[in-house]
Amino acid sequence: MNENILLQKDFNTPFESFPFDAIAHQDYKPAFLEALKEAKKDIAKINEETAPADFKNTFVALEKAGEQLSNVSSVFFNLLSAHSNADMQALAQEISPLLSAHHSEILFDEKLFARIEKAYQNTAKETLTKEELMLLEETYRGFIENGAKLPTDKKDRLAKIDQEESLLCLQFGENLLKEVERYALFIENEKDLQGLPDFVKASAKADATEKGKPNAWCFTLAQPSYLGFMTYSENRALRKELFLAFSSKGFKNDDLDNQEIMRKIVQLRSERSEMLGHKNYTEMVLKNRMAKNKENVFALLDKLKDIALPLAKKEWLEIENYAKKMHNISQLERWDFAYYSEKLKKEKFNLDDEALKPYFSLEKTVQGMFEVAKKLYGISFAEHTDIPLYHQDVKTYQVLDKNGAHLALFYADFFPRGTKRSGAWMTNFKSQSEGKRPHVAIVCNFTKPTPTEPSLLTFDEVQTLFHEFGHALHGMFGMGKFASLSGTSVKWDFVELPSQIMENWCYEKECLDLFATHYQTGEKIPSAYLQSIKDSANFLSAYQTIRQLSFSYLDLSWHALGLVDAKNIQSVGVFENAITENLQIAPSVEHTSISCAFSHVFQGEYAAGYYSYKWAEVLDADAFELFLEKGIFDEKTAESFRENILSKGGSEDPMVLYKRFRGAEPSVEALLKRSGLA
């Protein structure tokens, strides 16, 4: 019988990359089952150790346990997001409870925890490095805060909660993916395409042809298609139709409805937090974040709200007055906002995305992004065509450090498809640890090239690309001993600093001059456009701030419910409206919901943590001030950022790391100044 390829210790591939082209669906389940057996043996070996419990034979051994299971899980769950199918979704429902149960078994293993407690008490902390001390403290805290000291009956209940929640989160995400797959707006009358630029129509034609309707144009709920239509279409009725389809995902009381799923998720999280001695899930989560507590979080959110809300209302009114003047619109609606704001931006700043896109071909922008990394950190990217891929659209690069040493393997997956969830994210296929370099990936949903032109990005998409690349650099530069503290494995409200700071370079002429050239003529982006980009940087800044704050307040409010209150929530819509009504700028729209499509929180890892984006904006604005002062490509400043932030991962307290780089704690004033809210 042939060995399951997923269980091989060493792959005969460049850089020991995963052999995606050789993995069959039938390999996953047996690989999971065998890897689970091996992981259990690793734990048993720690328990059977006869030598006195110490840091190395307990904490380090536990850190290394289950490596094979981590590898199998990494491949499967990354592809479940990036290149899924019905078979994988069904298997995820079968495997997730087994993984959750295994995790609970480790946390509730009394013999193992007894060793951990002895090793914790007997270890001379002053003999450990900072990273080793962090592993000791975080591992011990993790066991305590996940119920290791609970009585048996409560441990059993906690294990069931974790299993049930993992399945519900999977179902939440699958429903959204199916919503996107199921919806299509086919347009057969060319008059209904008025206002749409050629690149939007070309992409829609390609989508329709792919779906068997070559004489039509197809618009979907995938981000590039949806935004292209909402931004440029003159057909208000169709804008409304597409908006309602997009904004009601998971909120239609049908087979893909997420209301009951998310209510159960909230209840389970509330129950879990109360069992562990916390008032609610928000309190439990923030205790181990950079923010420390809800008072610090709300102090920031409330300050930004008080400043931004009156300005955001003025911005909405400005767009509404413009729409009235232009088309005699009596009341601006949500499905009008992108269209008229784009028109006004073009008028005010002589700038629009359609004019900019030819200067931002994806290929040139990626090369420019690599050049920025080289100028900052001395690293280089060499494309490899001999590395197995999980989809033909993916590209892979070897990353070389400034001394020519191998640093990382980098996967870039840029285009939407029916098997990929929406949005953009960075992930690891292999994490960095002592002696092992990482394999990182960024996954996006940019417009695909057509037969007549390459993939062209909006300026927002350029920022998205740089954002995810910042996460990737964080993963690539990890230099720790332990995978659980390496790269992006940091406090959740610190993880967005490396990504968000990269967006700042997109506004600098010195950066844009590296790659912003017209894809047909090779002409550099005109200076007038560069100035317009800077001038328009704060266009609708207050509105966007309130939008982000609304998400943060909503997330924190769902997770601030005690179990009794969580069970008493009868209507997702009523609860959501109650939380967001004092932040409302636009007219509310019936039958739409943020919560039911809030995948960051109910599918991803941002539960009680969506505020992290704003928290990290304070950090990145303050940190970039130093680059502006010293020069945006100043090697000394970049080296300090790499050494003190990017390479350290979660090995030290994030505020200590930040102050080591910046010399002081961050100030919100830099963010207010940058966003025009000062």
Catalytic residue flag (residue 48)? no
Report strand pairing: 406-413 vs 395-400: antiparallel
Residue of 165, 174, 179, 468 marked catalytic: 468
Taking the CA atoms of residue 509, residue 339, residue 193 and residue 354 in that order, the dihedral angle to the nearest 10 degrees is -10
What separation in angstroms does the CA of 562 have from each of 43, 280, 569, 600, 624?
Answer: 35, 5, 11, 21, 40
148-154, Cβ contacts within 8 angstroms, sequence gap of 24 or more: 148/107, 148/108, 148/113, 150/108, 150/275, 150/276, 154/275
Number of H helices, E strands in the chain: 28, 7
Where does residue 450 rank: exposed (0-12), middle (13-18), buried (19+ CB within 10 A)?
middle
Give rounded-to-5 percent helix, strand, coil for the chain.
Answer: 60, 5, 35
The answer to whether residues 660 and 642 touch, using CB atoms and an 8 Å cutoff, is no
Q: Which of 215, 212, 226 is nearest to 187 (CA)?
A: 215
Which amino acid appears at position 381 of this protein?
F
392 phi, psi to nearest 5 deg:
-65, -20
187 beta partners: 217
Two structure tokens written together for 276: 């562990």
d(CA 159, CA 165): 10
Is the C-alpha dihedral spanning 624, 630, 634, 635 positive or negative? negative
- With b for 16 or more beta-carbon neighbours within 10 A and e for fewer, the 258-286 pattern comes to bbebbbbbbbbbbbbbbbbebebbbbbbb
Cα 337 to Cα 50, 181, 547: the distances in Å are 68, 25, 13
Q: C-alpha angle with apex 387: 382 to 393, nearest 5 degrees?
A: 85
Residue 406 in tokens: 């191998």
Residues noted as catalytic? 468
